[in-house]
Structure formats: structure tokens, C-alpha cells
Amino acid sequence: MVIKVKFVNNTNMVNKKIISIVLLLLMGFTFQMKAQKISSEVTGTVKDVYGQPLQGVIISSGDGEKIHVTNADGVYSFKVDNNIHSLIFSLLGYKSGKKDVESNLDVVLQKDSHVMDETIFKGFSRQSRTTVSGSIASVKGDVLAKSPVATLGQTLGGRLSGLLTEETSSELGRTNTSLHLRGISSIRANNPLVVIDGVVCPYNSDESLSYISPAEIESISVLKDAASQALYGIQGANGVIIVTTKRGIAGQMKVNVRLDESLQEVTTKPVFINSSEYATLRNEAAYNDGLGQNYFYSDDQIEKFRSGSDPEHYPNTNWYDMNFKKLAQMQRVGLDITGGNDKIAYYSNVNVMHQGGFYNVDQKEYNPNNNYFWANARSNVDVKLNQYLSAYLNLAGNIKREHYSAAGFVNNIYPHLFTLPSTLYGPVTPSSETDEGGNVITTENEGSPVYGLINRCGYQNSMVTNVYSQFGLKLDMSFLTHGLSMTGIVGFQTNIVNTMATNQNYQRYMRKSNLDVLEFKKKGTDENTELAYSKGSSMYNYLTYKAQVDYVRSFGLHHVSAVGYALYQNLAKVDVTSPFCLPYDRISTGAEVMYDYDNRYVLSLDMGYSGSEQYARGHRYATTPAASAAWVLSNESFIKENASWLSLAKFRAAYGLTANDQSGLSRFAYNDKVSVNGGGSIGYLGYTTTETALGNPNIEAEISKKINLGIDLGFANQLTLSFDIFKEKMDNMIYSNTALVPSYQGADLNIYPKTNFAEFENKGFEVEANYEKTLNKDLSFNFGGFVSYNKNTVTNILETSLGDDYAYPIRTEGYSYGQTYGYLVDYSNGNGFYNFQSEIDQSGLDYSFGTPRIGDLKYQDLNKDGIIDEKDKAPIGNGTLPRFYYGISGGITFKAFELSFLFQGVGDWSSVYSGMGVYETDYDGVYGSLHKNAWTVNRWNNDEKISAPALSLTQSTSHQTSDYYLYDRSYLRLKNLELGYTLPSKIAKYIKASKLKVVLSGQNLLTWNNMKSDDFGPEGSYGTIPVYRVYNVGVRVQF
Amino acid sequence: MKQNKILSYIAALTFLFGGSSCSDVLDQAPAGKISLDEVFKDNDYVAAYINTCYRSMPYYGVRYFFYSRGPVCWSDEAWDADDLDVNWAGSAYMYNGNASASAHPVWSTDNGHGGNMGNFWDNYWARIRNCTYFLTYIDQATVTEESNRSRWKAEAHLLRAFYYSELLRWFGCELPIEQELYDMNQDFSMITRSNYHDVVKFILEDCDIALNCPELPWRITSSGEERRVTKAFAEALKSRMILYAASPLYNEGENYWEEAYTINKASLENLRTNGYELYNAIHIPATYSPSKNPEVYLPNEKAGMFLEYFCTSAAYSSTPQDKETIYQTADGQGNIWHIDGIGAQSGYKSGTCPSQELVDSYETTDGQPVLNLSKPYLDEETHLNPNYNSNNTLYDPKNPYENRDPRFYASIYYNGSKRKAWWVFSELPSCYENYPASAGYRTRVIATYEGEPKTGINSAERSVTRTGYYERKFLHPHSGDNNGVGGARFKQFRLAEIILNFAEAAAESGHLEEAKVAVNEIRTRAGMPDLPSGLTKDELILRIRNERRVELAMEGFRFFDVRRWSTPDGDLAKTDRWVTAMSITRNADGSYSYKRKQVNGSERKCYTNKYLKAAVPLTEVNNMISISGENWQNPGW
């Protein structure tokens, strides 16, 4: 038998040799294997110091292999091989206990508030928290599962120090949350790498995360510094999120059932401008524009709107309430089964989620309302094939069936709830003797009336099938040397989306201008059509091969562990055009060596060596070394003996490189792209060339240098404190350096190659604190929280000055990514508006974008040239990301009651808003609550509150990016609250359950913020669907 | 059984590891991508690349932004009737002084309307790079026929020379000479600029290299090769650019006139030797000969011939009827009756409206200028009081359009002239000269007096004249909506220009007799008498300049001529500041009264010193300041 092993070109000769030898030995040894074992029965109970039985205590062999788990009564009973001499009993939050094997073994576990015995999974390697020298935060799946929401991303906010979450799209059932770990490492603002069960999932990682339900999660860790990221090479620089799903543990089959019923409502809702208010505001705007009083509506008409005496001719239509439901429903059912024996262990999970619609629909022929079903199933099976060889299979499948209006998802429809004025009769034309009516009413300016979008466009069905499977084999090579093992994994993801869409068009009608008669005229040429069907599909698949060698061994007080891996990834998409049809490939290798002496002195060396097809030979591979060290002072005997109150003291330092290959380059950026096409000036020559890209053969991965310093402190085994400060610097960031390239050199600057020259910096700190106290067997509580701060700066892009006459001629360097520029309002007169005509005249200012009226904003002429223009713009806000973010969580357990809460917030974040609802001129005038008190002469004279510049019908000089529209987006939110009650066990036993618990929970219950109005919340804008508040009732049953 | 199982495990493991990679997995040949190296390894691609070098050959004519004649309308030759509707770019930008270093019609205009001109600065530099790139790699390139390699090389040299000449004409500043390619790591702070004369010498060198190529023909003889450059193109370019280099604006105090004379003389001789001569006969008498077609409404055969020449594309043949045209631009001058003729004819726009100043420059048939050429207007800038030439006995201000140079009639529609074509409207009673008549193919009197509802002078619509005149020079006599004869190809270089270049250089360098002979050749062809004898050098130069103005009217020369004749510290106040119109009043008896007036009553702001040269794009200037500390901007911008 010939085994042909091929490797990355000279990447890792060491690996190659090791693996070749291993394979040869494997062949030799496996033939001699025999499944001969002698075993003996071990039973016992595990309890805490108060005598309460501990459920879920993991019992493993001395070398870390999980064997069994205790049941709800803390009882265990299993057969143990006679080559195992000691057992380790571990439970998160308790100090592990190690006992020699005896037939009857009762164990008492001590509380460990510092959870130093927790094993942290870093994606490719494991480490006990004691010896972690990098910066890692982690959270358990059962904590995340407290959030009654549909997607995993929504559960992460406030749970992990250093992880910034922002809900960027809040559509129920398909929320999108953007994740940034310690901010961003380059101006690309890339998301962190997601690693699921040891396999990197860089493509569509947001989506890949959403295919996992919180209930399946064992833990999530975030790797924040170079020490923990270096191993990931060209994919590590943006941080790494390690997702570990639950695995089966041998023991009696356990079944968990979760049932949840949730009601959801929006957290914010723009103010309703009733028809008399609308008419008044519209007149006010016309008056300001010089069109005179009562340009649109007479006082008499406004009075009719106000009194509601003639609702047919003078209606007050609330388009929002008419079309949008106040409450939407969600149901979730989850079932997981776990169990196994000494040969096989399994964890299976099925979750079904149903998201109900959120529109009030009025369509009899079909249902255009949203209706999402989402089923995901997972089966993680571990099999011990023989003494040395074990295998596992993770199979996760998702079926997402989405039914929704053909007008699209809610983000396409929601803004149109506000575009029609409340003075408009609607939603459809009335029937009469001559006309059956029923045609959708809109205005001249709105082509997509919301009623039509929901009810007259058709519907779509999308079926998303995502299958993610991993198959791994692990060979224990202790027959060579103790502690050596080898693992091979194949990961395969297939994602298929099939969409069947139906479309129809509909007639639009407009009301005629005479309000005293109810008459309509047809708008445009649209006609009512039958449903037309269409079909579309897309897919991608992702293949990963990974080989890994592990070595874990202790020599007395010296503990050594090492990992070496090689990874090949291949992504194929359905694109048919070159170069996108070509597969996307990456190769990564890396090695890590960790050493500690007596859990006191820790040293870790990491090295990634990885390449991407993005770069030319010779520049393809990036080396990312990192070194880190820790000193666990509290494990020194002089502390243990003399200052036992100092239950934890640890100092960490790490420095290293990480890299990024997602630099916004076109594919194969090292090559020129020249196309040859027919035509050209000279027909005789037949063809002409077009250079669409010029290659930079020297382009290479961006390297981020990162340093992290940390201290962990613990007091009296109750209070844990952790501090980290970090700094990241990238000085080969890829950017277009055309500032130093004149156009006269002839190559189009738009296609001029980007180079590795720009510089970027990111720094910050994290503080974490946790306090945990168990007062007695009935009462315990914990409090904790973190604050993270990060600030990035674009330090060098060779920016060209805009000119000395600019107030801020340099607009990127020295500022954070995404810095906004706009005018500064001159508040020297008290309110920032021109309150008299003479104030305008005396200002001596020319606006380059129009002529200000009274009630318009007065801008600062920063360059003192008498002209307000581009040159006067100043930095406003502080970039695209919040600088502070924090979470505060806690819980109290009293007898059978458990209460937990999570507050989450961000700070130092402000952005300039514009567009519909902020400006009032869109469509037929869309007024937010601030416009009700817009500047008018009367309000000014009467000293009334003024909350907007003078209204206008068209763009005025006030509708410019300025600090007037700067909104402070910091907020504090009661993100999650859960109250649980475990019913007495005798009740549970009625249904043969071992545990029965009911929970009441809520998500996003309260938000405190500084927004200028309550029309929209800090994450969204006037026309985007707001974050939802969720009320949930759930039942948890364990059999 | 057991062994099988184990074997399968091994196979599985092998699969896991062995499948992981092979050495060149990241080395994928990116399909669909050709690198520049590969271009020069394929004969057809090399041909495609030289074709790319041609890409920015300008269209000229009416193909400046928004179907405008660009520099014709920015000079004292004409006023653009699109000054209202396209007031955000183009001519209006020049008139109202809004052109700036960040937005200038020469390079900030969109190229979607009006051909391929686009951003002159970027486009010409891009092509210069293409040419240099081509010249760098052509010797090693895969070319199946050596004669092609040789000719393509000559073309690349010539095209590079031409693009440089365009940059000089528009921007007139010192320029870096790109003889070798810049590489990706080029330190541009080390690149120096050469002065105008040195750049012209570089242009001449490139032209001479092309002229030494045996494979480069003197004339394109098959339409498949249309638009390819020739030796004649090289001679014409040399003639033009050495004349520019010698001119006051660019000569930096040096006297290059003798050099200009010598080069022009040689070029002219070479062109004549190789078959170039003035167009001298009507070839389509049924259309252009007034004796055969009275409805062409021209006074004589000379005028018919002159109009025919500009309305007819030159054929590609070894024995063409048109032996005057040296290079004509791409087709696509469009439906010029619709965009640049008499706007009312099909209801769109008039475009180029010839100015009173241009009309004044046409002599009377006795060869006397109408105005005193040394001081044409008593009010030198505002042009309302003509300073008539006291020797002229034929000109009658009350009948100003009688007894004029035949080229006047072939170039301009004036009040009372006639045109037979398709008119889309029926006449109103107040169209006294034409009422009644319905829409259709008919003769119409072009009445341009104040108040004429269709073609009368007016400043408020794009379809009517601003000046009292309409352009006729490029307009087929009967083209219209029923007879879609597009504009002929624009004659970018023609022998008449070279003769006039030579005449100017000869006069300036003191070879007065040769200069006079040359000018008389042009005059004879146009049906005008010879220049009188005994002219002083200065008088002769004034006559040559006026001849140039008349012969090359509305072909885009005047804009550059008045600039190069200025000194660097001068301005264009005497020519370009006030451009006038003829305000004609129709009297009750049907006679007309003539009164000069200022178009719109407002001055043009594009006359000041800074308008002698176009602004270099601000981004480029800012870049260069940060790269080298050197300010490339032309004075005043």
C-alpha cells in the first residue's frame, strides 16, 4: 500500500516529517491493536459544601478524557478501565477534585469563584484558565440561552469583554448583529474570524453563526490578543471567535426540552403626526419658503382635520397602525438528548422556531405576511473505535423556510409606513355605484405606498438549506510517547438558497386636490396584474481539511503541551464569471508550544505560517510569531501561606504579530488585468486593450503588531478583577498611495495598484470584575461586569492636504476610521438659528449651497473667508464605532428561584443623522417629533422650545451635514432579565421528569439613551426597523 | 474482517492528510486575466495595444462637451447658444468666469455627450504612457510581420508626439518628458519638467523618427486603415508645433522664427512632393455649384467649392479628389443641422453663432479689409464702433453683406440669406419674409432681425442666434430631418493650415516675399485677389493673421492663435472680452437698420491673463505640491 502525502510547498517540513512517520507507525501498530479491557464499577455522589447534590459534574480520567457525568441527584455510576487509576471531578465554578479510583467514591467540591480550573478551548488547543497567558474572554452556552431571541448574535451583547456588538438589522427572526473584537485592526473594519468546533469558517461567518442556536453552544470564547490569534495567521488579525458546541458525555440518557412562547414589540416608534398637525406643519413650511400663509390648507380645513367631523373628506389616517402589528409572536421548541457509554457518546439537538408575521394584511388570495420557520438539528457523536483510535462526527443541518411579501424583507417596507401623510384618505379607493373601488391610494411623490407593498406585490418563499458537517479521527499515539496524539478533520459546508417569487403590479390612485369631494385619479401607467412566478437559487460550498498533532505531558511540576496543524480551505461559489468562478483557497499552518512550571511560571510560543492565493509567489505566506508569559503569583507558596486572602494574582504579557488577508483587494491583485475587446479607433487593427487593473506583485498580507498586558486578581475566592491594556499597530496596511503618484505618469489612478504602506493604530483597555458569594445552601448571588474601551486612529495614509484654505485640510490621518465632516453651528447668539433677517445680512456669510432664510442654521465660517462651503467642514462625531461598551450582569439564587439580569451599553458614540424624518422634505413632508417645534417667528418671540430649523418644502441650507444633527448614540439597556422557578421534584415526577422549571424572561426591556427624540433608537434611524423588545414564557423539562 | 476495518481507518486518515494540499494549490492561473507581459507575446494583442494608443485621438469639431465647438465658442469667433441650458459646464463656464482649478471645461467635462474628449490632462497622459509602454516592449514583442512592427513603432512615436502637442496647446506649461516608463516605485519628486521649446523638440524628434520609417505611408489609401497616422501627419504636426514654440506666449524671449521658417518650409515641400495640394474644384456640382443648383444660394463657384470641401469627407484612395486633407478625425460629427446649425430648423439648438467680429474680418471682393487691421475698433475692447479701413470703397454699412469674400457666404448664414431644407414648423404671419409656408422641404429666408419669431436674434433660447448669424461652414446645404446628411469628418490637419503656418513663420523671420506667395495661394483658391505689393513686415503679418482667421474660421484655431500671439503677461481683453452681435431692426418698408450690440449686454470673463493657459487639475497640482513641493499650476489659477 502506497500512501502519498503531499504538502504545502516547503511550508512545514517538520510537520511533513512528523506526519509521515506517524502514518508509517500507525500502519504498524494498528494491526497489533486489541480491544482487551478489564473494567470495574465505580459509584458515588458529588455534593457541594452545603450538602447539595451537584448535577453535571464531569468525571474524567487523569489525562483529560471525559468519562461520565453526574445526574440530577449528584449520583454517578459507571465502569472504569483498570488502566485508569485516578478520576478528576470537575464542574464549572468549583475546584476540581482528583481522587484515586475506589469502588465507592463520594466527593465534595469546593466553590471556585475564579473558575481557574476551567478549560479554555482556543480553537486549535486547550488550556486551563490558570495558565492562559494571552487575553481571552469566554461565556457558557447556558448563559447565552437565557436570551429569548432567534439568533445567536443577539445573545452575545454585554456577555464578552472586548466584543462589541451592534444590531445592524432587527427584522424579527433574521436579525443581523455586527461583531467587532477590540474594535477594528485596519480601515477595512472586518469582522472577527469564526471558528466552529476547531474548523475556521471565514466565509459568511455572520450567517454561519446564525445557523447555530444558543442551546447547542457549550461555550464561546473570544481571542483578543496576538498570543491567542497568531496561530490563525492571515485570518487572525481581526480577532477570533471560538464556538464550541455541546458534546455527549457517557451516562444515562438525558433529555432536555425547552418550550418558549414570546411576544415581541418594537422598542421605539416614530411619533404619529395627525392630520391637523401635518396640515399645519405643511403650511408652516410653505410659509417659510415664501409661499404665504395657508398655502396648502385653509384654517377651516385644518379645523376639519382637527375635529374629525368629516372623516371621509378630512381623514386622519394612521398608516403605521393600519399596516403594522403592535405585537408579533414567536414560538420555539428545543429538544436535546445526550448520553452514551464508554464506546460512544452522543449529543443531539433539534430546535424549531416559528416567527409570526408583523403586518396587518388585507389580501384574500394569498398571504403576504411574514412567516418564518427555522429548524436546526445537530448531532455530535464521539466514538471510541479502539484503545487508540477515536472518531467523531458533527452533523448540523438547517432548514429555514421564509415566506414574505414580494416587496422584500421588512427593511424594504418599514420606511414606507411613514411616507404618506395622515391627511391622505386610504388605503384604497371607496366603492361606489359606478366604481368598485379598492385601488391603492398614494401621492404623487410616493410610488410604493405601504399598503400596496404589503398587500399587492405578491409573496416569496425562500428555502435555505445549510448543512455543516465535520468528520474527525483522533489517534492516540501514546504507544509512541505518552501524550502524543494526532487528529484529522474534514469539514464541509453546503448552503443552498432556493427562492420562488410571485410578483404582481397594481394600479395607484391619487386623490384629487379638492378636499370637499372624494375623487381620485389614476397615477401613472401601472395596471393590476396577475401573479407572475419566478425562481432563483444560489449556493456555495466550503471545504476544509485539517491535520493536527497534539502533545500534552507533565514531567513532575513541568507541564508541556504543543500543537502543530495544517489546514487547507476551499470555497466554491456559483459565480460563473471569472475570476469569481475560480475557487478561493487558503493554506494555514502553525505551531504552539506552551510550558509552565508548577502552574506558576508560564511561557507560550506561537507561530502561524499561512498563505492566501491573493498574493504572488514569494509574498504569499505570512509568518506570525507571538510570545507570551504569565506569572501566577498566587500559586507561590509564600502567598498561599502568608496572604491567603489573595486567592488569585496573575500577571500576563503578550506580544506578537497577526495578519489579515481581507484587504479589499480585487482577486489576484498581484496580476495585471488587461482585457482585449473588439473595436477601437482603428478598425483595421481589430481589437483594443483595456487595462482594468494593474497588479502589484509585491502586495502581501497586512500585519498587525499587538501587545497586551494583563493582571488578574482575586480576593477571598469571592471577588475577581481583571485588567487588560492593549495596543495594536499595523504599518503595512493596504491602501491606495496615489497621493504620491501624479496623473501624468499615465496609469489610471483608479486602477493604480494598492500598496502596503499605510498605518493604523488601535488601543484600549478592558476591566472586568466579578463577585460571587454563597451565603448558605439556599441563597447565593453574583455580580459582574466589564468595561471595554478602544480607540482606533488612521495614522498614515499619505494623505494630501486639501489646501491651506481648508479649516481641516487633513481629514483622515489622525482621526478614527469613518470620521464624519460637516459644518459647526454657530451658537454664539444662543440658539444657532438666524432669528432676524438683519442677522443674516450682518453675518456677511455667503452659503455656497443656497441662501439661508430666517430660522435656518448659522454655520461657523472656520476659514474666515466669508463663504460657507466645503472648506469650513470640521470633524463631527468620533468615527463609526463606539469607544466604550460594557456589560453588567448578575444573579440571585434563592431556594428554587433564580433571578438573573444583564445590562449592556455603549458610550462615547455619536453620529450625524440625515434623511427621512430627520430632514422633513422627503416625499410629501415626513415630520418627526422634533419638527413639531421647528423654528417660527412666533415660537422665537414667545421663547418657546425650538427643536428644528425652520421647516421647508425643499432642501434648505439647514439640510446639510452639521453638528446640529449629531446624535449621542450612547445607551444603557436592560438587555436581559430572567426569573426562573424550579418546581418541587414531586411535581416534576408526575410527568416523569427529573426537573421542571418555568421561566419568565425578557430581552431589551428598558433602554436609557440621549437621543434627541424618541422616534428611533440609538442603533437605528427613522426609517429602519427598530430593535425589538421580547417578553417570553418558557418551560424547561429535564428527563 | 478486522484488517479490513483497520485498513479503512488508514485510508480515511490518508485521505484526510493527503488531500490537504499540493504545492501549487495557491498558484492558480487566474482565468480571464491577461497581464501586460502577455499582451506583448501575441501579435494580435500587440496590434490591439497600438490601437489603444489611438484611443484619445480627439474628434474636435462639434464634439466638445455637449455637442459644442468648444474653443470656437470660447474665442471671439462665435457665441455658444447653449450658454443657458448647459450653464453648469462648457461655454457658460468660460463666459461667466466659473472655470476654476477644480472644474474647468477643458478637463472636467463629461465625455458622454460629444465624443471621446473627456479629461484632456488625464487622457493624453494615459495615452503617452501607452505609447511609451509600447515603444519599451515592441522590440521584444511577438509580431508576425516585421513591417508591422516598424510601422507600429512609427505610429507610437507619432501619437506620443501628438498627445504632447495637445497638452502644450491647452496647458502651455512645462511638462515632464516621458521617454522611459515610470515604474511602480518611481519617486516622482525626482522627475523634472522641460520647457516649452524642449518639449516641442521632443515632439519633432518623435516625428522625425516616424518620418524615417519606410513602412509608414504618406497617405492612407483604404478605408479599413482610416484614422491611422501618416508621414503627412508628422510633417503637419512639426509645422504647427514649431510655429507655436516661436510664438510670443511660449518663446521665453528667444527668437525661434528662423527655425520655424526652415522646418515649415521643409514640411510644406515634403507634403507637396508627396501629393498634397489645395482643394481646387467642385466635385459634386449638382449640390454645390450655384450654376447647377441655384438653391444652394451661393454667389459663385468658389464659394460652392469652399462649402463642398467642409461638407465632404476625404476618401481613402491613392488618387483622392481631396488632396488637401492631411488627417481627418473619426466620423460622428452628428446631425449638425440639429445641434449646430439653425436651431429652428428642427427645433433643438443653434450652438455656434458666428460673431460680428468674425463677419468683420471677411474682406470685400476687391481684397480690401473692411476694418483697419491695426486698430479694428475705435473702442478697442467693446467693439461697438468699427474703425473702417479708409481704403475700402466697396463696404456699405447699410448693406453689410454685399460684395464680400466668397468664403463669407460659404461660412455664415446672415440676415437675408436663404437655405433650402426641411423646416419643422409652419410660418407665422409675423415671419414677414416667409409667411405663408407650412412645415416641409422649402427655401426659407434666414431672417435674424430682432423680433423675428423663428430665427430672430434672441438671448433667451438655445434654438436661436445670439449674434444675428448662424454657422454654415460645416452644414450640408440641404440637410435636415428628411435628409440626414451628418457632418463630414473634421479636418484636423489640412494643407491650407500648413501654408498659413509657413507664411506666418516666413513673414516673422523676414522672408516677406515667400510669405506673400504662400498667402496668395490661399487667396487665389478662395477667389480673392492677391495681396497688394509694398506691404511692410508688420502690415503683412496683420494680413496673414487676418487671412488665417478667415480661412480657418470656426475650425478651432483662433482660440489658440490669439493666445500664442499674446505675451505671457498679456490678456485677451481686446479680442475676447466683449463679443458683439448685429442687432437688426426691420423697418416698416421691409428694409433693415443695423446696429452693433453686446451679446446679453455682458462681458465675458474668460479674457484675463490666466485664461491664456488652461488650469492644471487641482488634484494634480496638490499632488505635486506634496510630492515635490513644486507648484505646477499655471499663473492665476
Lowest model confidence (mean pLDDT) among A937-941, A990-994, B423-427: A990-994
Supply the mean pLDDT for chain A: 90
A742 and B12: CB-CB below 8 Å? no
Identify all chain B residues contacting A488, using CB atoms and an 8 Å cutoff.
12-13, 16-17
Contact across the interface for B25 and A587, Cβ inside 8 Å: yes
Residue B254 DSSP one-character state: -
- In chain B, residues with a C-beta closer than 8 Å to the C-beta of A802 are 622
Please report which residue ranges of A898-1026 form alpha helices under DSSP H.
937-941, 985-990
Between CA A1030 and CA A54, with CA A212 as vertex, the angle to 5 degrees is: 80
Tell whether A696 lies on the interface with B, counting CB pairs under 8 A.
yes
What is the average pLDDT across A339-355? 92
Q: Do A685 and B47 count as a contact with CB atoms less than 8 A apart?
A: yes
* CA–CA dist B35, A374 (Å, integer): 48
DSSP reduced 3-state for A643? coil
pLDDT-derived band of residue A528, with 50, 70 and 90 as boundaries?
A: very high
Count the residues in chain A: 1039
A150 touches chain B (CB under 8 A): no
Chain B positions in Cβ-Cβ contact with residue A9 (cut-off 8 Å) = 23-24
Residue A760: CB atoms within 10 Å: 25
Considering chain B, what is the average pLDDT of its residues?
A: 92
B 4-23: CB under 8 A from A? 6-7, 9-10, 12-23
pLDDT over 80 at A581, yes or no: no
Q: Is A864 exposed, middle or buried (0-12, 13-18, 19+ CB in 10 A)?
A: exposed
Per-residue pLDDT tens digits for A787-807: 999 999 999 998 888 888 899
Tell whether A701 is within 8 A of chain B (Cβ). Answer: no
Partners of residue A959 on adjacent β-strands: none
Question: Would the CB atoms of B45 and A27 count as touching at under 8 Å?
Answer: no
Number of cross-chain residue pairs from A and B with Cβ atoms under 8 Å apart: 233
Question: Percent of chain A beyond pLDDT 90?
Answer: 70
Q: Is the pLDDT of residue B603 over 70?
A: yes
Evaluate if residue A23 carries a pLDDT over 80.
no
Nearest to A613 among B26, B35, B624 (CB): B26
* Record: contact B226-A673, CB cut-off 8 A: no
Query: Would the CB atoms of B51 and A688 count as touching at under 8 Å?
Result: yes
Report the DSSP beta bridge partners of residue A565. Answer: A548, A590
| Contacts of residue B383, Cβ cutoff 8 Å, sequence gap at least 6 | B356, B357, B376, B377, B578, B579, B580, B596
Task: Give A677→chain B minimum CA distance, Å.
Answer: 8
**Which residue of chain B comes nearest to A674, CA vs CA?**
B34
How would you label B187-225 residue by residue, b for 16+ Cβ within 10 Å and e otherwise?
ebeebebeebbebbbbbbebbebbbebeebbbbbeeeee
Q: Is A200 an interface residue toward B (CB < 8 Å)?
A: no
Q: Does A680 contact B48 at a Cβ distance shorter than 8 Å?
A: yes
Which grid cell sits at A664? 479589499
In degrees and rounded to multiples of 5, residue A183 shows phi and psi of: 70, -130
Environment class of residue A351 by beta-carbon count within 10 Å: exposed (0-12), middle (13-18) or buried (19+)? buried
> What pLDDT, in 10s, does the model give residues B187-203?
898 899 999 999 999 99
How far off is chain B from A27, nearest CA to CA, in Å?
Answer: 7
Hey, what's the cell of A17? 516529517
Q: Is the pLDDT of residue A610 over 90?
A: yes
pLDDT tens column, B532-556: 999 999 999 999 999 999 999 999 9
A289-302 pLDDT per residue, tens:
999 999 999 999 99
* CA-closest candidate to residue A632, choices A95, A116, A96: A116
Say if the Cβ atoms of B21 and A566 lie within 8 Å: yes
Chain A: closest CA distance from residue B12 (Å): 8
- Identify the H or E element spanning B53: helix B43-53
* B188 close to A (CB below 8 A): yes
Band (B16; pLDDT cuts 50, 70, 90): very low
Q: Has residue A36 got a pLDDT over 60?
A: no
What pLDDT digit, counting tens, does each position of B62-71 carry? 988 889 999 9
Residues of A in contact with B186 (CB under 8 A): 741, 745
Report which residue type is found at B394.
Answer: L
Say how many C-beta atoms besides its own lie within 10 A of residue B147's C-beta: 11
Query: Any idea which residue has 474647468 for its cell?
Result: B104
* pLDDT reported for residue A3: 38
- Could you tell me where the DSSP H helices lie in B172-249? 196-211, 231-246
pLDDT at B601 over 90: no
Residue A28 has pLDDT above 60, yes or no: no
The minimum CA-CA distance between A200 and chain B, rounded to whole Å, is 15
Give the list of residues 6+ apart from residue A988 with CB closer than 8 angstroms, or none: A994, A995, A996, A1037
| Residues of chain A with C-beta less than 8 angstroms from the C-beta of B227 | 681-682
For residues B23 and A665, the answer to whether their CB atoms sit within 8 Å is: no
| Contact list, A806 vs chain B (CB under 8 Å) | none
Report the pLDDT value the prediction gives residue A12, as an integer from 0 to 100.
44
CA distances (Å), A303 to each of A318, A319, A514, in order? 18, 21, 16
Q: Give the phi and the psi of residue A547 in degrees, each rounded to 5.
A: -125, 140
Does the beta carbon of A524 lie under 8 angstroms from any beta carbon of chain B?
Answer: no
- Nearest chain A residue to B115, by CA: A681
Which range has the worst mean pLDDT, A24-33, A187-196, B342-351? A24-33
* Chain-chain contact of A671 with B30 (C-beta, under 8 angstroms): yes
Contact assignment for A6 to B18 by CB distance below 8 Å:
yes
Cα gap A68→A345, rounded to integer Å: 10
> What pLDDT does A606 receive?
96
A958: left (phi over 0), alpha (psi -120 to 50) or beta: alpha
Residue A467's pLDDT is what?
94
Question: Which amino acid is it at B233?
Answer: F
Integer Cα distance of B63 and B61 in angstroms: 5
Are residues B219 and B209 in contact, defined by beta-carbon separation less than 8 angstroms? no
**Residue B4 CB-density burial (10 A; 0-12 exposed, 13-18 middle, 19+ buried):** exposed
Distance CA B92, CA B79 (A): 10
Mutation for testing the B interface, residue in A688, A689, A751 having most B CBs under 10 Å: A689
In A, minimum Cα distance to B621 occurs at A742
**CA distance to partner chain A, nearest, from residue B123 (Å):** 8
Is the Cβ of A690 closer than 8 Å to some Cβ of chain B? Answer: yes
User: Which residue in the set A613, A741, A801 is minimally distant from B28, CB to CB?
Assistant: A613
Nearest residue of chain A to residue B47 (CA atoms): A685
Question: Residue A64: what pLDDT?
Answer: 66
Residues recorded for chain B: 637
Look at residue A512 in the predicted model and tell me its pLDDT: 92
SS3 A18: helix
Could you give the residue ranges of the DSSP H alpha helices within A906-976? 937-941
Task: Please tell me the distance in Å from A471's CA to the nearest CA on chain B.
Answer: 10
pLDDT for residue B111:
57
**What is the ipTM score, two decimals?**
0.88
Task: Report how far residue B199's alpha carbon sits from residue A405's, in angstroms, rounded to the nearest whole number.
Answer: 66
User: A198 — phi, psi (to 5°)?
Assistant: 85, 5
- pTM over the 0.80 mark: yes
Q: Which chain B residue has its CA at the smallest distance from A19's CA?
A: B17
CB contact under 8 A, B12 and A5: no
Task: Please give the Cα distance from A473 to B11 (Å, whole number).
Answer: 11
- Radius of gyration for the alpha carbons in chain A, expressed in angstroms and rounded: 32
Q: A6 and B33: CB-CB below 8 Å? A: no
pLDDT by residue (tens digit) across A367-417? Answer: 999 999 999 999 999 999 988 899 999 999 999 999 999 999 999 999 999
Residue A6: pLDDT over 60: no
Question: B260 to chain A, minimum CA–CA distance in Å?
Answer: 28
Burial A332-341 (b: 16+ CB within 10 A, else e): bebbbbbbbe
3-state secondary structure B336-355: HHHHCCCHHHHCCCCCEEEC
Beta bridge partners of A402: A372, A462
Which residues, numbered 426 to 485 in chain A, qualify as contacts with chain B under a Cβ-Cβ cut-off of 8 Å? 473, 475
**Judged by CB atoms within 8 Å, which residues 236-295 of B form the interface with A?**
none
* d(CA B489, nearest CA chain A) in Å: 14
Q: What is the pLDDT of residues A848-874, one digit of tens each?
A: 898 999 999 999 999 999 999 999 999
Q: How far apart are the C-alpha atoms of B487 and B351, rounded to whole Å?
A: 14
Q: Give residue A22's pLDDT band: very low, low, confident or very high (50, 70, 90).
A: very low
Tell me the chain B residues in contact with residue A747 when contact means C-beta distances shorter than 8 Å. 126, 129
Q: What's the CA gap between A754 and A736, in Å, rounded? A: 4
Lookup: cell for A241? 471567535
Q: Which of B10, B16, B623 sits opposite A26 (nearest CB)?
A: B10
How far is it, in rounded angstroms, from Cα A209 to Cα A194?
Answer: 8
**DSSP secondary structure letter of residue A702:** E
pLDDT band at A715, cuts 50/70/90? very high
Q: How confident is the model at residue B330 (pLDDT cuts 50, 70, 90)?
A: confident
Is the CB of residue A768 less than 8 Å from the CB of residue A792? no
- Residue A29 is predicted with a pLDDT of 43
- pLDDT at position B572 is 96
Q: Vertex B101, ends B100 and B106: CA angle to 5°?
A: 80
Q: Render pLDDT for A105-146 as a digit per residue (tens, 0 to 9).
A: 888 988 888 888 888 999 999 998 999 999 999 999 999 999
Taking the C-alpha atoms of residue A19 and residue A16, their distance in angstroms, rounded to an integer, is 5
State how far residue A683 is from chain B, nearest Cα, in angstroms: 6
B36 pLDDT tier (thresholds 50, 70, 90): confident
pLDDT (tens digit per residue) in A618-642: 899 999 999 999 999 999 999 999 9
A13–chain B Cβ distance below 8 A for any pair: no
